């Protein structure tokens, strides 16, 4: 795995900015992702909170429409001769404590692994996330559950079970965190049993008639950006 780090130039204005610790933590996480040997990943760490409300976001760069436009990220990527994936981290991760870094970086690397293992299954997972948004909690969407599960396994191993449990407990009691879905779900994740991502995705795909929903969307002429992205992901997945 080849990792490149880019930091927003404003990061260094913060006292809590420590590039060395971000890079050391990432290096340790890489050891859990041996299947990603030969993959080029750019990590962009921002000094701002994300405007999409997520701590981090992963973009597979060979996919025609990775979903969201980050003009500055595109500019940074263009300065490299080859990058397979770009991951955008918000200030939550850039200035976060060790456990926050481990949980978020592992989560995003697991999305890279999902795409790398089976592109179609990963993209179907994203399409399911689009159609089932609001119907089932985001943390229960299989690609998200699987990424949280892997991040739990890695964080327990790297930071210790007790410290991670305390970290999650503090999220539950933090009044600034309004949505408690993530910590509640995290506690319930079973890291011992097997999680068959492909099976879960194909079952949801069938049960919710996603194929039909995509067909309907294809005939619809006034598609918004997200809907356009769904069509592109579907076509690319089945190419
Ligand atoms: Zn995710």
170-193 pLDDT tens trace: 999 999 888 899 999 999 999 998
Q: pLDDT: is 52 or 215 the higher one?
A: 215
The alpha carbon of 142 and the centre of ligand 1 are apart by a number of angstroms equal to 10
d(CA 125, CA 199): 11
Angle, to 10 degrees, between the axis of helix 161-173 and the axis of helix 98-117?
A: 100
Overall number of domains in the chain: 1
End-to-end CA distance of the chain: 26
Expressed as residue numbers, the domain containing 221 is 2-237
Ligand 1 midpoint to CA 237 (Å): 19
Give which of 228, 237, 232 is closest to 205, Cα–Cα: 237
Residues with CB under 5 A from ligand 1 (ion): 144, 147
CB-CB contact of 102 with 55 (8 Å) = no
Beta bridge partners of 86: 42, 59
Q: How far is the CA of 185 from the centre of ligand 1 (A)?
A: 13
CA dist list (Å): 15 to 7, 40, 104: 15, 30, 21
- Dump pLDDT digits (tens) for 17-75: 999 999 999 999 999 999 999 999 999 999 988 766 678 889 898 887 655 556 678 88
pTM score, two decimals?
0.94
Unique residue bearing structure tokens 């005939």: 219
Q: Is the pLDDT of residue 226 over 90?
A: no
- Ligand 1 centroid – CA 125 distance (Å): 11
Q: What spacing in Å lies between the alpha carbon of 145 and ligand 1's midpoint?
A: 8
Cα separation, 202 vs 190, in Å, equals 21
Compute, in angstroms, the gap from residue 107 CA to the centroid of ligand 1.
6
Q: How far is the CA of 54 from the centre of ligand 1 (A)?
A: 9
CA–CA dist 21, 101 (Å, integer): 10
């Amino acid at each position: 795995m080849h990792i490149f780090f880019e930091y927003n130039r404003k990061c260094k204005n913060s006292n809590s900015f420590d590039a060395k610790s971000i890079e050391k933590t990432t290096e340790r996480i890489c050891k859990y992702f041996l299947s990603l040997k030969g993959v080029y990943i750019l990590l962009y760490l921002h000094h701002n909170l994300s405007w999409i409300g997520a701590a981090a976001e992963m973009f597979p760069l060979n996919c025609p429409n990775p979903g969201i436009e980050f003009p500055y990220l595109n500019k940074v990527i263009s300065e490299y001769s080859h990058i397979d994936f770009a991951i955008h981290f918000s200030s939550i991760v850039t200035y976060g404590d060790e456990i926050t870094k481990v949980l978020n970086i592992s989560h995003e690397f697991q999305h890279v692994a999902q795409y790398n293992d089976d592109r179609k299954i990963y993209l179907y997972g994203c399409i399911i996330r689009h159609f089932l948004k609001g119907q089932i909690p985001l943390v229960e969407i299989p690609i998200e559950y699987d990424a949280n599960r892997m991040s739990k396994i890695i964080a327990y191993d790297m930071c210790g079970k007790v410290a991670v449990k305390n970290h999650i407990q503090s999220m539950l009691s933090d009044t600034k965190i309004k949505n408690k879905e993530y910590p509640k779900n995290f506690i319930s994740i079973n890291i011992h049993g097997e999680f068959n991502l492909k099976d879960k995705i194909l079952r949801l795909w069938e049960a919710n008639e996603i194929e039909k929903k995509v067909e309907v969307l294809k005939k619809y002429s006034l598609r918004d950006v997200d809907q356009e992205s769904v069509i592109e992901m579907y076509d690319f997945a089945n190419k």
